[in-house]
Amino acid sequence: MSGMAELLHKLGFNISGSDLKRSERTDSLQNLGINISEGHNNTNINGADVVVYSSAVNNDNPEMDAALSKQIPLIRRAEMLAELLKVKTTSIAIAGTHGKTTTCSMLGTILTEAETNPTLVIGGIVNKFQSNTISGNGDIIVVEADEFDRSFLTLQPTMGLITNLDLEHLDCYKNLEDLQDAFIKFANAVPFYGKVVVCTDHENTVAIIPYIKRPLVTFGLHKDAEV
């Protein structure tokens, strides 16, 4: 959420937010001129045109209640991220059970060194930027696609990358097959002119390849990998 808030702020939107406790990240947002409230209170959304919330927010949250009573639109974090993908010509979403943040960090650093001026929104701090977001004027955006709560199925990137696949989030998925089905849907949400990139070093990702109906590139240490 903090990376998205920073990016929207840099795009010229008037952003405010709240968290249960102050942290280094909320302080850095405050230093950018973003108003951050400590604790959740129904007055925190006064004047808001839209309220964006994450999967961690409960339905009985006072700010959610206030937004509903005032008929202020409520948008999930994943939905707002999907809107941000439309800002750039090329959108790259990194999915997978492990390594999403690391892969996004590496790709963001490589694209920056290549002077493509990318935009980056991820969950962790990138050492090179000392932030979890950068707002570049190039035509590429890189984001982390989280499978929790199936939120990544909201995204329609022009390129989707899958690092690996292990059974996690059993509160959202019934079994491994259910999780694999979600990743197949994520891959097939890429437009016909896009690309899906899959690691072949993990048997659970290899198993979904036959069901991906989009242009495919494989990578890894396996002898059959293309890259």
Show which residues are catalytic.
100-101, 144
> H or E stretch including 170?
none
Q: Which residues, listed in sequence order, are joined to residue 119 by a DSSP beta bridge? A: 141
Q: How would you label 62-93 residue by residue, b for 16+ Cβ within 10 Å and e otherwise?
A: ebbebbeeeebeeebbbebbbebbeebebbbb
Tell how far CA 92 is from the center of its chain. 10
CB 41 within 8 A of CB 62: yes
